[in-house]
Amino acid sequence: TKGDAYAVGAIAAVDGSYGHDLYVAGARVTINARVAGALKTIGARVLVRPGTDVGGPTQIAGADVRFAGVTHGKTEIVGDTVEIDGHIGGDLLVRARSVTIGKTAVIDGDVTFQSFNDPVIVQGAVIRGRKTMTLPHPQVSRFEAAQALFGLVLFSIAAGFMAGLILLGAAPA
């Protein structure tokens, strides 16, 4: 596509080439795409494959996040478990309980870890900028507020679907 693209589903797998921004949401998200603009994705499990190349800023949120692609802009990753094995061309902010920077990771900018636990930086990983470790802030960013809203909408849809199934099963022919 030449413009913005949106993908939403329980299992969202995105391939191809996108001329502007890409927005993906789902329980399981897999991305293997070329994105000229920004990438914003949210899911319980988010996998950004090695074939992914993002020209703009990247925002990823999920319980289990694995990033193995390339991004040329500022990157923000929020999750419970975060693993980075890709190339990040700008600054990186990671908010997570558990962070692993793998041996094939290259980070050109500054890295800020907001976590109660020290990140695991595997030998071979390259971090060219400053590393900063801070405790998580209690503030809520717009991205986190959008996360919460998406979770509420997804829960509401699932609850409505289940209620509909129950009513269909209980209704006479």
Query: Mean of the per-residue pLDDT values for the chain?
Result: 88
The pTM is what? 0.78
Between 38 and 159, where is the model more confident? 38
Helix (H) or strand (E) holding 155: helix 142-170
- Which pLDDT score is estimated for 173? 60
Residue 118 contacts residue 137 (beta carbons within 8 Å): no
Mean pLDDT along residues 126-138: 84
- What gap in Å lies between CA 133 and CA 43, rounded to an integer? 25
Confidence at 138, pLDDT banded by 50, 70, 90: low
Residue 140 has pLDDT above 60, yes or no: no
Between 91 and 133, where is the model more confident? 91
Residue 23 contacts residue 6 (beta carbons within 8 Å): yes
Closest C-alpha among 78, 63, 70 to residue 31: 70
Between 145 and 6, where is the model more confident? 6
Between 71 and 10, where is the model more confident? 71
